Structure formats: C-alpha cells, structure tokens
Amino acid sequence: MNISKNIINNLTIYRRDLHQIPELGFQEFKTQEYLITELKKMGYTPFKICETGVYVYINNNKDNSYAFRSDMDALPIEENSHSFSSKHLGKMHACGHDGHMSTLLGFASYLKTIDKSKFNCNILLIFQPAEEGPGGAKNIVETGIFEKYKIKSIFGFHLFPTLPQGTIGSKIGGLMAKAAEINIDILGKSGHSGQPHKTVDSIQIALLFLQNMNNIVAKNLSPFDPSLISFNKIIGGTVRNIVAEKTRLEGTIRSFSQESFSFIIKRIKDIAHGLELSWNCKINIDIAEGYPPVINDKKYYNIFKEAIKTSDSIQLVEVEAEMLAEDFSFYQEKIPGVFYFVGTLNKEKNFDKSLHNCGFNFDEKALEYALESYILIFNSLNI
C-alpha cells in the first residue's frame, strides 16, 4: 500500500511519545494535549469531548458519515524498564492504547494526503478516554455526537498479543463478552468453633454457594452459548477457633447474550435465597453491570472482511469469541460497528507478553498493519 515514509515513521514517534505519558481514565490531560497538538500540526481543528477526550470531524458535505475510534487511557501498573518507559510512576500503557492512538493519528495524517474532491463520505475520528473503566464510550455516546454528525457505522481495533504480527482477526456477531462484577456478602453468626451449634458458619455457606455456581452454566445453559462465572477472591474469618460471621466472595460474570446474563443473575439470587432459608443466614448480592457484549454488525463486517482481503501484507483470520470485555460495545448499541484484533505476537523479538502485563510491548511494525486496515476500510466505504 502506498503510505508515505513520513507517516510510517511518525507511527513510532507518536507511540513512544505517548507511551511515556500514560494516564488513567478521565485523567488523560497530557495525552489530550499531545493529541490536539499533533492534529493541529496536520491542519485539523480538534475538539475536546467528555473532558479529556478529543475528536475531529472531517466534513466533506457528503451524505454518509463514518467513525473510527481509539481509546486513550493506561493502567495502574509499574512498568519493566526500557528506553521509552513510562515517566509516570505506577502507570503504564500495558494494553496497547498508545498504539491505538498512534494509528488513528497516522490515519488522520493519511487522510490529509487525499484530494478533497475524491472524498465520498465524511469521517469522524474519536480519541476516547477511560476504556479500562468506567467505560468512556458510554459517555461519548451520551453527548449525542453520533446524531449530530449522522454517523452510519463505527470501526475500531485492539492490539492482540495472541495473534501473530501481520494477522488481523475478527468474526461476525459476538466477538467479546458482556462483563459484570459481582460481590456476595454472606452474614452468619460468630462463636467459638467448639460450639458450632450456636453459630452460623459463613465460610461453610460460601463453599456451598460456590459449588452451586459451577452448575449454573454447566447444567442450565447451552454449550453453544458461552458464559462464565468466576469467583477469584474470598475473604472470611478472623482467627482459627472463631466461626466466621462474615465471608465475602468477589467475582465476575461474562456472557455473550443479555438473555443468558439475566438468567445467570436470577439463578444466583435463587441459590442465595435457598441458602438463606436452609442456614438461617443473610446473603447480600451486589452486581455492577459492566460493558455490553461486542457484537459485530453483519453488513459492515462483510465490508470490513472484503476490504482486508485485498491486502497483500495482512492475513485475515476468523477468531473465536473472547471472554474479554471492551466498551466499544456501547457504540455498537447505538450504531452498527465492527471491532477487530491486530496481531502483535513476535517471538523472535520477545513480544509475547499478555495484555495488562508489566512487560507488554510490541514491534511498531504492527501499527503499519493497523493503519493499512483503517485505510482499506475507508477505501471500501468511500466508494
């Protein structure tokens, strides 16, 4: 693909600059300033949105408008040192959002090379805060920006270290799961362990609760409708000879359909109620619903698929759905959209660490493939 050497070189510069100034969700003020500066250099008029976000609308006075999105925020992780490590102690771009922003900047730069008379659509570029939490995409949607600019569909990607570099992966329909956080507080009755008949053992009840959790998905949901319930933190008890009055379970629920998710919640509440009756205890359930599932639109997925297949350098693969969550789903609840993965796995250069890992890194060559994918999608939409 004919992309100027200057644009390609700038991908690395953007990425390494942004990597050194990671900021948490809705705190991306330095990142915002950097993006605005670079966009102005290109001749754009960027606007702030949702306090720390940025957007550019390229108005070509056409009937069709499409959006491309990058997230901006980092994670509260202390980074392993290298030549362009984070300058913000305890914060790191360990999920590739520096690469996502760099790609969208590169795409913005590329669009400036196109003769304005050859545009057959309008383009909205969104740099979104707080993907890692609490979900800045929802805030973006609530601004009414999609109605304002009459956006027909939206595209976005995530760097992905389980796919080889040079590979792009996605699928039609459910790609990433709906996620929710769940806390269970079991309130029993404390007392001496030598007098168990005078107590209500919250730890024992917690064990029974967990055993029942295993059956909700395995025995009630179709194996072709993937869902997951996982409790990974248990807090209970004070000392060895006192029956625990309170035990807390903290976990997550993942599902690809609202129907299955609602069923899981109902069964959890039913099980809790049964345990309350049989053990004379109190069980409090707190559920924080997270992001909806990422569901790729059929029409625009086929446009995306045919566009990527024209590349001589990118291999397109259909991937299995992931139980990971992504707030891009809030956009897809509003308008049709397509989300996909851009591979960064490169074992020769030891770029094989997982996302959210203090050693996560990637070869900036992967950003060239990401940029090419945006350009190919744009070309297909711009017909």
The residues carrying an active-site annotation are 71, 132
Give the residue from 254, 352, 297, 331 showing the smallest Cα distance to 71. Answer: 331
State both tokens at 208. 């029974």
> DSSP letters along 66-133, please?
EEEEEE---BS-PPPP-TT--SSTT-B--SSHHHHHHHHHHHHHHHTTS-GGG--SEEEEEEES-TTT
Give the residue from 118, 157, 151, 127 showing the smallest Cα distance to 56. Answer: 127
Cβ count near 280 (within 10 Å): 10
What is the per-residue burial (b if ≥16 Cβ within 10 Å, else e) of 124-145? bbbbbbbbbeebbbbbbbeeeb
Cα distance between residue 88 and residue 72, in whole Å: 15
User: Do residues 94 and 358 touch, judged by C-beta distance below 8 A?
Assistant: yes
